[in-house]
Amino acid sequence: MEGKLRPVLLLQDRPRNVLREIVGLRMVRLETLPESQQATIRRHEEPSLFHLAVHESKYGLSKEMAIDLNALVRVHATAVLPRAVGHLDDNEMRVIGQRLVEHLDIDLEPLLARLVEEHLDQLTSPEGS
């Protein structure tokens, strides 16, 4: 069975040992959207779509795309090319992460509270000084 290659932003470096699947976000070609929506995306005014300009050496894409934060997918590890075709820089990944947390209404408070407590414990413990 043959499959069609589709660009996906992988959100993990490797699958967890439980499942051989990687979480990703689908991408959409801007040319398939109405001009008014394309302009909104290019101006970064559409929070659910992250604009990727044509930049083949960086993104590995020959067409203008947008990462769709509404389109979380699981991709089996065997369906992923052996090497990345493109990449996003740390700032772009941070922005996508922040938008994803806001867009999906993920409550980070318990995690942040635990991390702050752990850090404070390290700072105030006799071994930490």
pLDDT of residue 32: 95
The domain that holds 20 is classified in CATH as 2.30.30.110
User: How many domains does one find in the chain?
Assistant: 1
* Residue 2 included in any domain: no
Q: Write the pLDDT tens digit of every residue in 70-82.
A: 999 988 888 888 7
pLDDT of residue 15: 61
* Residue 114 included in any domain: yes
Distance CA 30, CA 48 (A): 14
* Residue 32 included in any domain: yes
- Residue range(s) defining the domain that contains residue 122: 8-128
Q: Write the pLDDT tens digit of every residue in 1-46.
A: 566 778 899 888 766 667 788 899 999 999 999 999 999 999 999 9
Stretch (H or E) spanning 102: helix 90-103
* Residue 3 included in any domain: no
The answer to whether 77 and 20 are in contact (CB under 8 A) is: yes
* Residue 22 included in any domain: yes
Q: Determine what percent of the chain falls in helix, strand and coil, rounding each to the nearest 5.
A: 40, 20, 40
* Residue 1 included in any domain: no
Q: Could you tell me which residue, 67 or 2, shows the higher pLDDT?
A: 67
